[in-house]
Homo-oligomer: A and B are copies of this chain.
């Protein structure tokens, strides 16, 4: 019997979203505002514009406009690598012997290898529109830095990336992709910023950290004429741009009359999860439908499942505003043996607020089981997934197996955020049987949370 739902659903160009969806407009209790660490008062637009572009500050603060137009230039860029396919995992279902229908939205079909490009082009576009010369940012493993380099290369904008030194040295290929797109990549800590020099003086042998790279990127942006700083996750504006993931998905599912029962996304800073679920959360908040939303995080960095919902610094260097979020404390550093990404100490304020309201569930998974799911998925569905994305695969498989046990033919949707082509050191560790799990103790987390700023 011929199935009527194709393996892959691609939207036609005239079905592609023309507006971002701003889930805050439908939330009765809004995410808490960013605070100025000096005054502990909400950051004003004027204060934010020292660091971020004008239009992006407006998007950051706007929690009432439901639909925000996507400028034509951004839509043209999206058309080069979007629509992302919504894939029906027929073969995975068959091998699992599950009555569930499994769908995934695949965001890895672009050179940055992930969904990060959706926000990178938007942020670069607004910087260009404002007449800026360039932008600065930090990158850890390199997905975000690659995405931003691509966007800036396309628009002819200067792109200055501070890359955590250990990644710069161990992931020369990521660095080289960024250089090919015309970005300058500086290992962090560096001697080009004051904060970098200070850190190097104190810790001459440090291999860097994301917090340090953020501090350098911010200093670089505010001290350089015509530059602003951009960030790849956590912020409201980023989740707004990433709503294109959920909007495309919902349009594709609606076309075939499919209603997802469970929607699963991996969650580090929350940009992918927030973008995927946004229009579904909106429909639920408006009373139009009911879904189960599951955020999946690593057991080694469990901000939602074991953190506190309080104000904390967005960065380890404490130069950024405070955000109210589920956090393990801005000083929390996941075990070095954690290979699976999603290492951020906190969670986006929007996702945190939805979780606090009980709209989203959260689950934490251990990395060996994540890589088992990744390898299983790769062999059956062909795509080598990013370790981050594989957190969602793990839970999607678990839920499909549960359906096999209960006999329920649920529709399971998950976000496949990216590919693992630059994560093969981690795969090698797994293939060699050398990967282990690490779960922080209650004492570890309590000690980190004890250092939170006074609320």
Contacts and interface: CB of A to CB of B under 8 A. Distances in A.
Contacts of A177: 384, 421, 424, 427
A110 interface: yes
A67 interface: no
A428 B380 contact: no
Given A111-B383, A154-B380, A6 B13 contact: yes
Copies of the protein in its oligomer: 2
B384 A111 contact: yes
Given A182-B379, A375-B180, A382-B110, A79 B7 contact: yes
Nearest to A146: B384
A150 interface: yes
B6 A111 contact: no
A109 interface: yes
Given A13-B7, A424-B173, A181 B378 contact: yes
Interface string A160-185: 00000000000011001101111000
A46 B344 CA distance: 62
Contacts of A153: 378-379
A378 B111 contact: yes
A38 interface: no
A91 interface: yes
A436 interface: no
A181 B431 contact: no
A324 B253 CA distance: 53
Contact of A428 (B79, B110, B172, B375): B172
A87 B110 CA distance: 14
Contacts of A380: 154
Contact of A378 (B7, B10, B180, B379): B180
A343 to B, nearest CB: 21
Contacts of A126: none
A177 B374 CA distance: 12
B422 A421 contact: yes
A76 interface: yes
A346 to B, nearest CB: 31
Nearest 8 CB-CB pairs, A to B?
Answer: A153-B379, A173-B424, A7-B79, A176-B424, A111-B384, A176-B428, A421-B421, A10-B10
Interface in A40-86: 76-77, 79-81
Given A10-B10, A382-B111, A180 B421 contact: no
Interface string A114-156: 0000000000000000000000000000000000001001100
Interface string A1-40: 0000011101011000000000000000000000000000
A373 to B, nearest CB: 13
A381 interface: yes
A419 interface: yes
Given A7-B13, A179-B428, 5 more contacts: A76-B90, A110-B383, A113-B421, A153-B378, A180-B375
Given A182-B379, A427-B176, A111 B419 contact: yes
Interface in A379-405: 379-384
A111 B79 CA distance: 22
A382 B91 contact: no
Contact of A381 (B7, B12, B80, B427): B80
Among A91, A173, A181, A422: residue with most chain B CB under 10 A: A173
9 contacts: A6-B12, A10-B10, A111-B382, A172-B424, A172-B428, A176-B424, A177-B421, A180-B375, A182-B379
